[in-house]
């Protein structure tokens, strides 16, 4: 359907051509002499209106009421001009083939259903306009991400999902457990289920073949090893956080994009983050026009103008100290205290992007070292580190990054100060022992980018199968 309707003439250039469309019925309207079927194949937002008259082969299925919302069908026909105002062309059917009937209990009927309800139907929600559009824009953002980094000479590196390190040091890791069947009988009798220790079938060891291991919270430390060999690299993969937060911006499983730049400082890092964000925003504005118009009308009014601004305007930059001062001056009561040395909460971040700088992305840099991770490069003031967070309206923190501490003695002293074991970071310290270079990078939460780019309020609606505390169905 996208192939026919996506062209400049919206299909008028194909009048008289024959066409076969395979898809799922959105609506069916029977009139005395003809039946109209709105068919969607997921390639774009638009449906193909199929006009079926009684002489079409397979019309008996229509008459028998077999073709209902949700059913999958194939329609063969000829593209003709449409007298309707909603589309330029329609498909005059000569043959209609039923593929899979849809039970009358199909939960997504035409009337608008809430997004909360659709989360309980995650297996069927991609059949709706909203979730189809989110999936296509998410795909376009992923494609544009690879395109941006590849065009700029970055090498894509896969970072491990199972790891012994806690990059962020926040202790928010899921533990990996090994299931070892005690015997072949135990394995056979388990029949795909997970037997418990009580059943005496499985030896649950609390570790990864005898060593502690976790699901990664970030691929950064691994990316640093490749950046100090191949120069600029990036990762793009799943990461996990065992934080028990039920907010509209947190997932237990999310995808992160983590570029790491060699021979680079914090300014290079901020320039890269800005260029990347502007590139992917421009990409979807140019390549996902129909879906973006849909978001602009139905999800967030004005999102296209807002993104157009993001694509061309400079981002605001200020230091953490200036950000705290502007919050202290704010004529607003915050729930969490504002004080130099305290982390900024999402209410503070939103105030800065939405009120102080009215809707523009803001980069805050030079945070107090106490509230940031061990690997960040210390500034000369002895109090702050070369860190940056990029904040956007509505979502808050989209990117977190820093210049990394490349000086061996200072990094070792910091590990000691934080009582972190130098032994377990031996390989990370080696990078500072053998040809250390200034380097910097950042992490961008992909679902937060999808939220920002589509206007979806809740991060659960930016991920096909969201994982939040207690929910791992589907």
Residues that bind ligand 4AD (CB under 6 A): 167-168, 218, 220, 241, 243, 250-251, 254, 256, 258, 397-402, 441-445, 447-448
What is the smallest separation between the CB atom of 400 and Mg ion, expressed in angstroms?
Answer: 3
**From the list Mg ion, ligand 4AD, none, which binds 250 (C-beta under 5 to 8 Å, kind-based)?**
ligand 4AD
To the nearest 10 degrees (0 to 180), the angle between helices 426-433 and 408-417 is 150
Range 265-290 burial, b when 16+ CB lie within 10 A, else e: ebebbbebbbebbbbbbbbbbeebee
- How many residues lie near Mg ion (CB under 5 A)? 1
What is the smallest separation between the CB atom of 447 and ligand 4AD, expressed in angstroms?
Answer: 6
Q: Residue written as tokens 């079926």?
A: 52
What is the smallest separation between the CB atom of 245 and ligand 4AD, expressed in angstroms?
Answer: 7
- Answer yes or no whether residue 259 interacts with Mg ion by CB under 5 A: no
What is the smallest separation between the CB atom of 463 and ligand 4AD, expressed in angstroms?
Answer: 9
Give CA–CA dist 208/122, Å, rounded: 32
- Answer yes or no whether residue 400 interacts with Mg ion by CB under 5 A: yes
Q: Is 78 helix (H, G, I), strand (E, B) or coil?
A: strand
Handedness of CA 86, 87, 88, 93 (dihedral sign): negative
What is the smallest separation between the CB atom of 220 and ligand 4AD, expressed in angstroms?
Answer: 4
Region label for 302, one of left (φ > 0), alpha (ψ between -120 and 50) or beta (otherwise): left
What is the smallest separation between the CB atom of 396 and ligand 4AD, expressed in angstroms?
Answer: 9
Give CA–CA dist 160/217, Å, rounded: 10
- Answer yes or no whether residue 438 interacts with Mg ion by CB under 5 A: no
- 75 or 277, CB closer to Mg ion? 277
- 50 or 373, CB closer to ligand 4AD? 373
- 48 or 444, CB closer to ligand 4AD? 444
- 12 or 122, CB closer to ligand 4AD? 122
**From the list ligand 4AD, Mg ion, none, which binds 23 (C-beta under 5 to 8 Å, kind-based)?**
none
Give CA–CA dist 330/347, Å, rounded: 12
Among the candidate windows 125-133, 154-162, 397-405, 448-456, which touches Mg ion by CB under 5 A? 397-405
- 197 or 245, CB closer to ligand 4AD? 245
- 447 or 461, CB closer to ligand 4AD? 447
Residue 284 in contact with residue 454, Cβ under 8 Å? no
What is the smallest separation between the CB atom of 420 and ligand 4AD, expressed in angstroms?
Answer: 15
What is the smallest separation between the CB atom of 168 and ligand 4AD, expressed in angstroms?
Answer: 5
Return the structure tokens found at 326: 């502007």
Nearest to 132, CA basis, from 28, 35, 41: 41
- 58 or 441, CB closer to ligand 4AD? 441
- Answer yes or no whether residue 396 interacts with Mg ion by CB under 5 A: no
- Answer yes or no whether residue 132 interacts with Mg ion by CB under 5 A: no
- 52 or 388, CB closer to ligand 4AD? 388
Give the N- to C-terminal CA distance of the chain in Å, as an integer: 29
Give CA–CA dist 156/434, Å, rounded: 23
Output the DSSP codes for 336-371: S---TTSPPPHHHHHIIIIIISTT--EEEEEEEGGG
**From the list Mg ion, ligand 4AD, none, which binds 399 (C-beta under 5 to 8 Å, kind-based)?**
ligand 4AD
Give CA–CA dist 276/232, Å, rounded: 14
Interface residue list for Mg ion (CB under 5 A)? 400
């Amino acid at each position: 359907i996208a192939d026919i309707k996506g062209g400049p003439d919206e299909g008028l250039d194909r009048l008289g051509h024959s066409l076969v469309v395979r898809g799922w019925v959105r609506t069916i309207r029977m009139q005395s002499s003809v039946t109209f079927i709105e068919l969607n194949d997921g390639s774009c937002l638009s449906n193909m209106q199929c006009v079926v008259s009684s002489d079409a082969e397979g019309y008996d299925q229509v008459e028998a009421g077999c073709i209902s919302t949700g059913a999958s069908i194939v329609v063969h026909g000829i593209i003709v001009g449409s007298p309707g105002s909603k589309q330029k062309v329609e498909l005059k059917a000569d043959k209609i083939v039923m593929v899979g009937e849809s039970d009358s209990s199909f939960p997504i009927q035409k009337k608008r259903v809430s997004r909360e309800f659709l989360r309980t139907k995650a297996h069927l929600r991609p059949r709706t306009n909203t979730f189809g559009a989110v999936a296509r824009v998410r795909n376009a953002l992923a494609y544009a991400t690879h395109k941006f980094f590849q065009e700029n000479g970055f090498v894509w590196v896969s970072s491990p999902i199972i790891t012994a390190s806690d990059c962020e040091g926040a202790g928010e890791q899921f533990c990996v457990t090994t299931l070892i069947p005690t015997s072949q009988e135990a394995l056979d009798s388990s029949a795909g289920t997970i037997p418990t220790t009580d059943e005496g079938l499985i030896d649950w060891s609390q570790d990864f073949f005898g060593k502690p291991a976790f699901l990664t919270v970030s691929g950064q430390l691994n990316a640093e090893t490749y950046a100090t060999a191949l120069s600029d690299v990036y990762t793009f993969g799943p990461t996990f956080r065992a934080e028990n937060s039920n907010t509209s911006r947190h997932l237990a499983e999310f995808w992160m994009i983590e570029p790491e730049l060699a021979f680079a400082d914090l300014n290079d890092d901020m320039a890269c983050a800005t260029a990347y964000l502007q590139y992917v925003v421009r990409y979807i504005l140019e390549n996902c026009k129909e879906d973006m118009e849909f978001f602009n009308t139905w999800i967030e009014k004005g999102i296209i103008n807002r993104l157009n601004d993001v694509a061309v305007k400079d981002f605001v930059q200020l230091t953490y100290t200036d950000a705290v001062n502007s919050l202290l001056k704010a004529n607003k009561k915050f729930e969490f205290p504002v004080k130099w040395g305290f982390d900024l909460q999402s209410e503070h971040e939103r105030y800065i992007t939405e009120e102080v700088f009215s809707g523009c992305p803001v980069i805050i840099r030079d945070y107090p070292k106490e509230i940031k991770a061990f690997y960040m490069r210390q500034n000369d003031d002895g109090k702050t580190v070369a860190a940056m967070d990029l904040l956007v309206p509505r979502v808050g923190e989209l990117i977190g990054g820093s210049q990394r501490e490349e000086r061996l003695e200072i990094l070792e002293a910091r590990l000691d100060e934080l009582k972190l074991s130098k032994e377990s970071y031996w390989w990370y310290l080696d990078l500072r022992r053998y040809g250390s270079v200034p380097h910097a990078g950042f992490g961008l939460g992909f679902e937060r980018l999808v939220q920002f780019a589509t206007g979806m309020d809740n991060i659960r609606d930016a991920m096909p199968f969201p994982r939040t505390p207690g929910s791992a169905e589907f």
